[in-house]
Amino acid sequence: MKRLLVLFVAASFFASPLVADSIVYSSLVPKTAKSMAMGGVFSSVPTAEFSFFGNPAAFASNDATFFFPSIDMWGYVRPTVSNITALANSASDRNSLLSTAFGLMAQNGGTGAGLSAGLGYAGKGFALGFFATSDEAAYGTSAVSATLDSESELTGIVGLGFPIDLGFMHLSIGGDFRPFYRVDCYQADGQTLANLVTAGDPWSSLYAASFFGAAVDLGATLEFGSFTVGLSVRDIAPSYNISYSTLSELQNSLASGNLPSSSGSANTAVFLPDISAGLSWKPKICNLVEPAFYLELKDPVTVFQNYDGIGSALNLVHAGAEVRLLKFIYLRGGINRGWFSAGGGIKLLCFEVNAAVFTEELGALAGDDPRSGFAVEAAIRF
C-alpha cells in the first residue's frame, strides 16, 4: 500500500489546472491494428501488449510479454480496392504519390499516414519500453487549400504493477512514469501543401512546436471468473512551455545535442487527465475456439455530467470482440463511436502479423466528421 500511496502522491504533484494561453494536448497513442479492429478499445483493456498506452494495471500480470520490435503502420485513406491500387501504382514517385493522396482527401475527411515502432517488456510487476510515434494528416479539398496536422513523439515508459488476491477476486493496480519529447509541425501562414511538395527545402517552410515533458498514468483491474473490469487515468501531468522554431532550426538544435529554448514562450502545453472505464469477458468454450469481448467507455465523468439521453453515452462507447481459432488465427470486429471496424491476424510462435480497416469519428458527435483508414502490424513477441 505504501507503493500505491507513492503513485497517487506523484499524480497529485503532476496534476495541473488550465492557464492563460494554454494549448490542450494528449499523448500520441499508436493506432495498432488490434485496437483499431476492435473499435478503438485500448485504455482499460487488461492486456500487457496494450498496457504501455492503456491500463498499467496489466504490469501486474503473471504472464510477461517481451517484444522486439513491434511496428505499426496506418493510413487515412478509404480502404477500397481502387484507392489502394492507385496509391500502390504511384508509390515509386513522391510527387505522384502525394498528388494521388491529395486527390483522395475530399472523400475521406482527410488523408495521411502514421508509424509507430517500439520495444519493451511488461509483466510480473514491471514494465520498461521505448516508442517512436508519428502521425501525419492533411485536411481539405485540394493540395492548395489543405492544412497539415503533424504530430511526433519519442516516449520512454517505466512502470510497476502489484497483484492483490481478494478470495475469489483478483485486484491488480499499476502505474507508470512516462517522459516524452513532443514535436508538432505546421505550415506558415499563406503556405500551401502544394508549395511544400515542390519547395527545394520544405523543412525551412514548416514550423515546429516542441517541448519535453513527463506524465504519470494509473490503472486498476478487478477479475472475477471470466470477467474483468478496468479503470485507467492517463496523462496526469503539469504544464510545459512550448518552444517554436522552423523545422530546420529544430533539426540543427537536436543535431548539436541541444533542445530549443522555450524562454519567453507565450504558450504552454497542458494535459487533461484521460479517464477510461471498461469491461472484458473471456468465456471458456474449448481450446480451439477462444472468444473475448470488450466494452469501453471513454471519459465517463463527462458523460454522466452532461447526460442528455442514451445518445450521449453511446457516442463515447468503444466495443470489440476477438475470436482465436486453432490457437494461431484471430478474427476481430468492433464499433468505434458508432462506426464499424474489422480485422484479423496470425501468430506463429513469436511472429505476429495483424491488419484492420476502421472508421473513426473526428467530430463531437457520431456522424459529424468520419475518417476511414487501414492499419497493419508486424511484431516479434515472446
Residue 230: closest CA among 39, 50, 366, 67: 50
Q: Is the pLDDT of residue 121 over 90?
A: yes
User: What pLDDT, in 10s, does the model give residues 94-117?
Assistant: 777 777 877 777 778 788 899 999
348 Cβ contact list (under 8 Å, min separation 6): 328
Lowest-pLDDT choice from 10-19, 58-67, 249-258? 10-19
Instruction: Map residue 331 onto helix, strand or coil.
Output: strand
Lowest-pLDDT choice from 130-144, 174-188, 302-316? 302-316
d(CA 117, CA 323): 26
Give 310 or 211, the one with higher predicted confidence. 211
Task: Report in angstroms the alpha-carbon separations of 342 from 123, 203, 283.
Answer: 28, 37, 21
Q: What are the residue ranges spanned by the domains of the chain?
A: 2-17+31-381
Q: What is the 3-state secondary structure (H, E, C) of 73-116?
A: EEEECCCCHHHHHHHHHCCCCHHHHHHHHHHCCCCCCCEEEEEE
Task: Report residue 362's pLDDT band, with 50, 70 and 90 as the boundaries.
Answer: confident
Lowest-pLDDT choice from 6-15, 147-156, 177-186? 6-15
Model pLDDT, residue 217: 97
State the average pLDDT over residues 286-314. Answer: 76
State the average pLDDT over residues 231-241. Answer: 94
User: What pLDDT, in 10s, does the model give residues 47-69?
Assistant: 777 889 999 999 999 888 898 88
The residue to which cell 471496424 is assigned? 341
Average pLDDT over the chain, rounded to whole? 84
124 Cβ contact list (under 8 Å, min separation 6): 61, 62, 64
Model pLDDT, residue 34: 93
Task: Report in angstroms the alpha-carbon separations of 288 from 285, 291, 327, 332.
Answer: 8, 10, 6, 16
Provide the grid cell at 333: 470486429
d(CA 351, CA 378): 8
The CATH number of domain 2-17+31-381 is 3.30.420: no
DSSP state for residue 117 in the 8-state scheme: E
pTM of this structure: 0.87
State the average pLDDT over residues 136-145. Answer: 76
**Helix axis angle, 81-89 to 94-103, nearest 10°:** 160
> E strands along 140-265, which residues?
147-166, 169-187, 206-224, 227-236, 240-241, 243-246
